[in-house]
């Protein structure tokens, strides 16, 4: 998602992944899976297949870990600020972990074009040989919106195709 924030020093944008469900929703789905697994495991236990219980527990533990990991990754935030002479990019999960200040005139923006039309393009800021990934979690529409914002602020977005790889 691309959201404009009010800031005195220039235009500021908050870039976050789309979160289809909050943490409570994840817990509710996990509890429904626990309930369903409990019903099935109880039936199997009564039928004499007790080895099903530890595997059901492992399955629910893996599901809980997957929910936690996904929810944690959806907390990523990037703040992109356009000052008159600088571009500031701040990245982090719950707090600012990394920050870059790039001169506006010498910063290039690369848009890596995907091989598949349903895959969003990847954006990178480049200055002095350092290439910084810009909001890799955005979907296609949000990436197009961000490209329009970058162009509106005087940055030229150059499209490129990376060499083909065997895997993603």
Average pLDDT (104-122) is: 90
Mean predicted lDDT score pLDDT of the chain: 90
* Bridge partners for 77 per DSSP: 92
Looking at residue 53, what is its pLDDT?
93
Distance of CA 132 to the CA centre of its chain: 15
Instruction: Give the model's confidence band at 22: pLDDT under 50 very low, under 70 low, under 90 confident, else very high.
Output: confident
CB 122 within 8 A of CB 136: yes
Average pLDDT (100-117) is: 91
Average pLDDT (45-57) is: 93
d(CA 33, CA 23) in angstroms, rounded, equals 15
Looking at residue 9, what is its pLDDT?
67
CB 89 within 8 A of CB 134: yes
CB 89 within 8 A of CB 99: yes
pTM of the model: 0.79
Looking at residue 167, what is its pLDDT?
62
């Amino acid at each position: 998602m691309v959201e404009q924030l009010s800031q005195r020093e220039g235009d500021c944008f908050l870039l976050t992944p789309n979160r289809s469900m909050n943490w409570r929703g994840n817990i509710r789905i996990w509890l429904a899976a626990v309930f369903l697994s409990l019903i099935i495991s109880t039936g199997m236990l009564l039928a004499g297949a007790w080895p099903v219980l530890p595997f059901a527990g492992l399955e629910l533990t893996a599901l809980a870990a997957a929910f936690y990991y996904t929810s944690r990754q959806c907390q990523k935030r990037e703040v992109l600020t356009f000052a008159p002479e600088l571009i500031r990019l701040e990245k982090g999960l719950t707090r600012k972990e990394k920050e870059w200040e790039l001169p506006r005139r010498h910063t290039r923006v690369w848009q890596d074009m995907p091989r598949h039309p349903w895959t969003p393009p990847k954006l990178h800021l480049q200055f002095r040989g350092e290439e910084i990934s810009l909001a890799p979690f955005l979907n296609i529409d949000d990436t197009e919106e961000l490209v329009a914002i970058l162009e509106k602020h005087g940055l030229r977005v150059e499209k490129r195709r990376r060499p083909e790889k065997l895997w993603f």
